[in-house]
């Protein structure tokens, strides 16, 4: 299962932690840019430790992967991003938006579309988010990426959300309200609340 976002900083890491907890899965972010790592944050949110895999590329520079890699003297290629073996659900967090560049010719989607995974799209409400959502959906449809559902982050207009869901041809898997502080107890509580609908969506 791949967690994609309509943009950067929309809540992908939080959603990934919730999904990992709810499905008793494992977390993996193939390309990490910036420190501290999202893996470390997710590890601190889960009820059970050791349920995450290290990134294939862990870069210290907080910027786009293609720039971070260039600054650190390496090159990221889609063919070098291998899925880790595992017996339980794998929650894969994307880097930035769907078309975030890995190098001068390849994007994050170019790597992820070959993994035959279902996708969850995270939408955060902000000025311009409707356009970003629509562009992402069009790109996903063009690539024939199977969208499992959408998660909304922030306080938004329900009628507008329904319009977006209709445009995406997908269901809403969850809504995240504004939180004063993100804690492990909060993540675990939301995971428990979401678990039934997630299992239904997955056909489990």
Q: Tens of pLDDT along 42-91?
A: 999 999 989 999 999 999 999 999 999 999 999 999 999 999 887 679 99
| Average of per-residue pLDDT values in the chain | 94
Catalytic residue numbers read 29
The CATH class, in words, for 2-202 is alpha beta
Checking if the pLDDT of 107 tops 90, the result is yes
Q: Which residues of 116-136 are buried (b: 16+ CB within 10 A; e: fewer)?
A: ebebbbbbbeeeebbebbeeb
Instruction: Provide the residue ranges of all domains of the chain, joining segments of one domain with +.
Output: 2-202
Q: 190 near 176, Cβ under 8 Å? A: yes
Q: What is the pairing mode between strands 57-59 and 119-124? A: unpaired
Mean local confidence (pLDDT), 136-147? 96
pLDDT one-digit tens code per residue, 166-204 = 999 999 999 998 888 899 999 999 999 999 999 999 887
């Amino acid at each position: 299962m791949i967690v994609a976002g309509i943009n950067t900083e929309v809540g992908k890491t939080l959603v990934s932690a919730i999904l990992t907890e709810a499905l008793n899965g494992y977390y993996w972010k193939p390309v990490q840019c910036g420190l501290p790592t999202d893996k470390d944050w997710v590890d601190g949110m889960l009820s059970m430790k050791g349920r995450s895999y290290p990134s294939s590329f862990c870069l210290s520079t907080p910027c786009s992967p293609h720039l971070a890699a260039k600054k650190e003297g390496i090159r990221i290629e889609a063919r070098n991003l291998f899925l880790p073996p595992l017996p339980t659900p794998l929650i894969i967090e994307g880097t930035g938006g769907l078309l975030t560049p890995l190098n001068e010719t390849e994007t994050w989607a170019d790597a992820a579309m070959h993994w035959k995974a279902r996708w969850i799209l995270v939408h955060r409400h902000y000025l311009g988010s409707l356009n970003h959502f629509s562009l992402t959906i069009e790109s996903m449809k063009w690539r024939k990426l199977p969208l499992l559902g959408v998660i909304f982050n922030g306080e938004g207009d329900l009628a507008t959300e329904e319009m977006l869901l209709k445009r995406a041809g997908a269901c809403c898997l969850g809504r995240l309200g504004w939180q004063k502080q993100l804690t492990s107890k909060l993540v675990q509580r939301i995971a428990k609340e979401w678990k039934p609908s997630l299992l239904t969506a997955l056909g489990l």
